[in-house]
Amino acid sequence: MTPEEEGDTYKRIVCSLTRELKKLGDHTPQVDRIQVSIIARAFINMKKSETLLDADTATEHTHVRIADCQSKYAKIINTALSHLALSRRSRMSNATETELMTKLTEAFLRASKNATQSN
């Protein structure tokens, strides 16, 4: 992934996820921006790590390390989504954390799918 592609992917994920957050209601850019940025960067790093698996020099050790990195990036994304859900729950008294987490996860999956389809 070139730096230009990374920038385009970052913008697509941020825009798409922000649009989804606005649909969910109570979007506060100052609060959401940090977590959305973390999600976008972790997703890009996860995708970049996949390219190392395709290299001719990839060994079993490479595959193990990449799997470890990807699980850490997935954890970072999940934590950021959880933070978004918690910040919303504190502002929206009628929604449960589980409902918000489900909606945010679905929103992230749509955003990441849109970002990868555009490449």
Residue 107: predicted pLDDT: 82
Residue 90: predicted pLDDT: 62
Asked whether 21 and 107 are in contact (CB, 8 A), the reply is yes
pLDDT 10s digits, 50-61? 888 777 888 889
Within 10 A of 16 (CB to CB), how many other CB atoms are there?
Answer: 21
Question: What secondary structure does DSSP assign to 86-111, as a single string?
Answer: HHHHHH-TTS-HHHHHHHHHHHHHHH
Per DSSP, helices labelled H in the chain are 3-24, 29-53, 60-91, 97-117
Residue 115: predicted pLDDT: 77
Q: Which residues of the chain have pLDDT under 70?
A: 89-95, 97, 118-119
- Expressed as residue numbers, the domain containing 87 is 3-117
Q: How far from 30 is each of 92, 95, 97, CA to CA, in Å? A: 17, 21, 20
Query: Into how many domains does the chain fold?
Result: 1
Report helix, strand or coil for 40: helix
Residue 104: predicted pLDDT: 81
Residue 24: predicted pLDDT: 79
